[in-house]
Amino acid sequence: MVLKVTDNGIGISREDINRIFEPFYTKKVMGRSGAGLGIAVVWGTVKDHSGYIDIQSSPTQGTTVTLHLLSTKA
């Protein structure tokens, strides 16, 4: 199964993409919502299900996050 989410925001820098899965990594100003755990938790869940995440981003062009999950028969 593949889940793809795309936005047309400001994009993510190459430096930030290299760190995006680190727990508690955030670019938000202190005191704002979020603890930098969201994508780290998603990555852990996807990995636990033998999947992977692909992130493509370009400055001013937005970002596409693609989750690849192993399909299994019940």
Average pLDDT score over residue span 7-19: 91
Angstrom CA distances, 14 to 1, 11, 45, 56, stand at: 27, 10, 23, 10
Residue 65 pLDDT level (bands cut at 50, 70, 90): very high
Average pLDDT score over residue span 38-46: 89
The predicted pLDDT at position 36 comes to 73
Residue 52 pLDDT level (bands cut at 50, 70, 90): very high
Q: Which long-range contacts (CB under 8 A, 24 or more apart) does 55-58 make?
A: 55/12, 55/17, 55/20, 57/11, 57/12, 57/17, 58/11
**pLDDT of 35 over the 80 cut:** no
